[in-house]
Every structure is written in C-alpha cells, then in structure tokens.
Amino acid sequence: MAGLVKMYNDLMEKADPRVDGWFMMSTPWPSLIICVAYFVFVKMGPTIMANREPFEMKKILIVYNFCMVLLSTYCFVEFLLAGWLNGYSLRCQPVDYSEKGLRMLKVCWMFYFSKFIELFDTVFFVMRKKFNQASFLHVFHHGIMPFSWWFGVKFVGGGFGTFHSMLNSFIHLVMYTYYGMAALGPQYQKYLWWKKYMTSMQITQFILVTIHSIQLLFIDCNYPTLFVYWILAYAVIFLIMFADFYRNAYKKPKTNGAVTNGVKAKSN
C-alpha cells in the first residue's frame, strides 16, 4: 500500500499546476465514483422502472438537446481558435504549459465536464423505458470518457491529444442537432433521413484519429507516448464497435418481421 501511495504521489507531481484548484481536478476519485455510479444506475435502471410508467419528457429533451448543441458548438469553435486554426501542427504538437496555452486548457476542461452532462442521455433512456437504446456500445462509450479525460486535462491539457476532442465536439454538435429535432415530434421525421450518415461520420472520426495517432509512433515528438497509445487504443476499439453497429443496423439484410417491426416503431 505504501508503494502504491508513493506511485500515486509521484504521478501527481507530474500534473499540470495550472489546473490546481479547478473544479473536480484535485483528485480522480470524484470522476471515478460518478462513472461507477453511472454503471450501477444502468444495471439497476430496468428494475427501478419495472413497475413505473415511462416519464413524458418531450420538453426536457428539446431543451437538453439544444443546450448540448450550443455546448458542443462552443467546444468545437474553441478547439479551433485556441490551436487547430491558430498554429497547431497535424504532426507533432507538444502541450503548451505556459499561460499562452491556457485558453486550450480551459476548453479541455469544458470538454471533460461535458462528458458528465452527457451521462443524462442514458438517464433519460432509462426514465423513458427505452432500454434498448442503452446498448453496450452506448454505455461503454459514455461510462469511460469522463474518467479517462480527467487524466488528459490533469497532465496533457492541450497539444496533440486535442485533435480527437475537436473532432468529437463536431460529431456531437451534429448528433444533438439530430436528437433535438427528433424530440420535436413525428412531424419532423421527414427531416431526419441522415441518421445513417451520422454513424458514418462517427466511423470517419475514429479512422482519422487512428491515422493521426499512429504517425506519432514513428516520429520524435515532445508528447507523452503513454497518452498516444491511450488515444490510439480508444480510437481502434470504438472504430471496431461503431463499424460493427453500422454493419448490423444498415448492412445486414432484414427479414420481413424486422421490416414490419421497423414500420410499427416509426408509426408509433
């Protein structure tokens, strides 16, 4: 135990001092506890809702989704202006630990905090008894992001690693626009023909992040290799999972029963 405590203390000595005193950045435990509580809620949710009627949440969903559009837009624009349209290199981009890089660090923290807000996606699925939408891919993706991004902000808030968060902010801008329009009601379904292409955009995102990460394994760059492997592993895992989802949802031939069920779902 003494050895583990020493390792933890040695690790914390390498943290970015600029985040000292920032909300939830002193220790990883609050982030870990919230993520664990999220997984427990997902597991217990169907039992909790078993004898309850689904909640009617149309107004809440409209407000929530369009607020998330605004938040995602803010993060995307800030990632661009703080670095990716202001001198950042697509090859080697070290973290700027000076006060000059503070703008990028702030948007990294905002992106990290937005991952906790996004956990409400699943909470709303459970409250509306849409359990099928809380798939393994959805829960795994939402559940690991907040905790993993704590380390990103704590140690490497800026530079190379913000490429994937910049792309992800844009994807979420599009995604929450779709969910917001869907929440408006059936009369807007005719404008939502592009759901399939939204999944294609997510797959493209992970392909770009994979390529972007692999190149750093073959060049010298003042960016921690551990985080390069972390980002690469994340991109490859989700590339495989989203590609499998796309194949099952859009490429597999549907039986007559499946088509009928799809029509019924739309008509409801």
Structure tokens at 139: 């829960």
Question: Which listed residue (141, 142, 172, 212) is catalytic?
Answer: 141
158: left (phi over 0), alpha (psi -120 to 50) or beta: left
Query: What is the distance between the alpha carbons of residues 252 and 249, in angstroms, rounded to a whole number?
Result: 7
Question: Which residue, 86, 138, 123, is CA-closest to 107?
Answer: 86
**Residue partners of 61: CB distance under 8 A and separation at least 6:** 124, 179, 180, 183
Are the C-beta atoms of residues 25 and 146 closer than 8 Å to each other? no
Catalytic residue at 172?
A: no
Within its chain, how far is the Cα of 32 from the centroid?
Answer: 16
Query: Annotated catalytic sites, by residue?
Result: 141
